[in-house]
Amino acid sequence: MKQLPQHQLEQTNNQKPPQKRDLIRKRLPWLTLKRVGWLALGLVTVLLIVSVFRPTPIAVETGQVERGKLQVTVNAEGKTRVRDRFIVAADVNGQLERIKLEAGDPVKVGTLVAHIDPLPLNAAVKQALGRLAEAKAQRAGVATQRPKPEALSQATARINAAQANQRQAEARVAQAQAALEQAKRDRQRAQELEAAGVIPRQERETAQLNETTRAQELEAATRAAQASAAEVAAAQKDLALLKAEQSDPDYLLRVYDAQIASIEAELSRLQDDARRTEIRSPVQGRVLRVLQKSAQFVTEGTPLLELGDATQLELVIDVLSQDAEMIQPNDPIWIEQRGERSPLQAKVTRIEPSAFTKVSALGVEEQRVNIIGDFVEPPQTLGDAYRVDAKIVIWEDKNALKLPLSALFRCDKAWCVFVVKENKAHRRQIEVGYRSDLEAEVKQGLTTGERVILHPTEKIQDGKLVKTR
C-alpha cells in the first residue's frame, strides 16, 4: 500500500464526521433552540396540571373482619396475700428475749417462736401464795372464836331442865291454891259450927291455923314458880347470847373469804401468765415477718411475728365500683407474668360488699371495690404482697365475629367503619356488641373477610380512593 505523506495524513485525521445537530437542522429546519425551550416548558406545565387535578389515593392501614376468640376483661392492678395470716403477740408484760427466727423460716404447730423472762411472774406467784396462806390462817383464827357446840348443847339442856322445874313449881302452886281454898272452907264451916255451939273453940282455931298454913304454902309455891320462870328466862338469855356469839364472826369470815377468793383468782392469773411466757406457733407454715427482733420490754398484746402458709395465696384486686357490677363469682382471672412464662389462671371467689374511696394518680377520688380470687394452681414464682397485673374475664366467645377496635368511629350516635372495596373507602354503619381493649364484636353490618380502615381520619370520605400501606 502506498503511504501518504505526513502532512496529508494529519489533514485526513483532522476531518470529523457530520454532527447530529446538523442532521436535525437539515431535516427540521423550523425547530430552533428557542422553540425547543418553549416546547419543553409547555410539556412540564401540562404534566403539572395533570398531576394536580388527578385524584391521589390516600395511604391507609387496614384490618380484616374475622371470626375468633374474643374476651372482654376488666384490667386492674392487684396484689397477692396469704389467705390465713396469724399475728403472734405477747401474752403478758415482760422482758422479751431476742427472737432467733428469720422471715421465711418454717414453723410447726407448737414451735417455740418467742420467749419472755418468767422470773418476775414466778416471784409474783410466790408472793400470792404467801398472802393466800396468811388470809386462810386469819380466817381460821376468827372461826375459833365461835362458841363450841357443847356449850350450845349445855345451854339448851339447862333451858329444858329449867322449864321442867317451872312446870313442877306451877303444879305445886296449883296444889297449894287448892289446899288453901279447902282450908278457907273448913275455917268458915268451923266458925259457923262454933257459933251454933256444935264444936268447941279449939277446933275453930285449928281450922284457922290450917288456913294460914295453906296460905303460906301457896306463897312459897308461888315464889318457887317465879324462881323457876326466872331460871328459864336466864337459860334462854344465855342461849341467845351463845347464838349471837356464834354469828358475830360471820362478817369477818365473809371478809376473809372475799380476800381468799381474790388472792386465788390473782394466783390463777399469775400462774397462767407464767405458763404463757413461752409463745408457740398456732399453725404450720412460715414466718412472714418478724415485727420485734431485739430483746426489749413488751406489754401484753404487742405484735411479735406474722405467720402463715405462703403457698396458700389469694388475690386482692381493687376495681372501680362500676366495673365491679359486671363481675360475678367464678369469673376467670388471668395474671400476666414477665418473660416468656404463660399467664397464671385464677377465678373470682367473692366480691366484697363495701366499697372504699381511693385517690388515683391524677388526684381524682374513686370508689373502688376489692375482688377476691383464688389461684387454680398454687403459683411458684409469687409470694405474699406481690403486685400483679390482672385481667378479669367478664365475657368470652370463642367464635365471635370481630374487628379491630381502632376501625370504629362515631356517626350519628351510632358506630361506623370504612370498608375498602375496589381501592375505595365506603362508610358503613354497623352494630357493635362487646368490646375488649383491642377488638370489638360485630353483631350486624359486616361479614367475614371484609377489610376495614384502621385509625380513620377526616381526610377519608365515602368513595375516596385509598391504598394500603
Please choose, from the candidates 408, 395, 388, the residue with its C-alpha nearest in 3D space to the C-alpha of residue 455: 408
Query: Are 237 and 284 found together in one domain?
Result: no
**Does residue 263 belong to any structural domain of this protein?**
no
Contact 317, 78 (CB under 8 A): yes
Strands 414-421 and 466-468: unpaired
Which domain-ending residue is among 381, 396, 411?
Answer: 396
The Cα 298–Cα 140 span in angstroms is: 41
Task: Assess if residue 228 is contained within a domain.
Answer: yes
Q: Total structural domains in the chain?
A: 4
Question: Cα(386)–Cα(120) distance, rounded to whole angstroms?
Answer: 43
- What is the model's pLDDT at position 211? 82
Q: Are residues 92 and 150 in the same domain?
A: no
Q: 404 or 33, which is more confident?
A: 404
DSSP 4: P
Residues 168 and 192 in one domain: yes
Position 47 in a domain: no
pLDDT tens for residues 414-423? Answer: 999 999 998 9
pLDDT of residue 264: 86
Task: Please report, for the domain that includes residue 441, its CATH number.
Answer: 2.40.420.20
Mean pLDDT computed over 136-143? 72
Mean pLDDT, the chain, as a whole number? 83
Distance (Å, whole) CA 109 – CA 162: 78
What is residue 33's predicted lDDT score, i.e. its pLDDT? 65
CA 382, CA 102: separation in Å to the nearest integer?
19
Between residues 334 and 92, the one the model is more confident about: 334
Residues 463 and 444 in one domain: yes
Residues 244 and 150 in one domain: yes
pLDDT single digits (tens) 82-94: 988 999 999 888 8
Domain boundary among the residues 232, 248, 264 is at 248
pTM: predicted TM-score of the whole model, two decimal places: 0.58
Q: What is the pLDDT of residue 26?
A: 59
CATH for 98: 2.40.50.100
* 223 and 188 both lie in a single domain: yes
Nearest-angstrom CA–CA distance, 234 and 228: 10
Q: Which residues form the domain of 77? A: 71-82+311-396
Measure the CA–CA gap between 152 and 239, rounded to whole angstroms: 7
Instruction: With respect to residue 185, please indicate whether it lies within any of the assigned structural domains.
Output: yes
Assess whether 208 and 155 both reside in one domain. Answer: yes
For 275-295, write each residue's pLDDT tens digit. 778 899 999 999 999 999 999
Residues 239 and 160 in one domain: yes
Q: Tell me, yes or no, whether 167 and 242 share the same domain.
A: yes
Residue 34 falls inside a structural domain = no
- Does any domain span residue 12? no
> Do 390 and 448 have their domain in common?
no
Predicted confidence at residue 1, as pLDDT, reads 41
pLDDT at 239: 67
Q: Kindly state whether residue 121 falls inside one of the protein's structural domains.
A: no
Q: Is 187 strand, coil or helix?
A: helix
Q: Which of 82, 106, 89 is nearest to 285 (CA)?
A: 106
Name the range with the highest mean pLDDT among 173-182, 276-285, 317-326, 456-465: 317-326
The confidence band for 16, taking pLDDT boundaries of 50, 70 and 90, is very low
Q: Are residues 154 and 236 in the same domain?
A: yes
Query: What pLDDT, in 10s, does the model give residues 381-407?
Result: 888 889 999 999 999 999 999 999 999
Q: Collapsing DSSP states into helix, strand and coil, what is residue 250?
A: helix
Flag whether 195 is in a domain: yes
In this prediction, residue 7 carries a pLDDT of 47
Give the Cα separation of 314 and 383 in Å (integer). 10
Smallest CA-to-CA distance from 334 within 319, 324, 345 is with 345
Report which residue type is found at 423.
N
Choosing from 289, 307, 325, the residue where a domain stops is 307
One domain for residues 189 and 156: yes
Q: What percent of the chain has pLDDT over 70?
A: 84
- DSSP 3-state of 83: coil
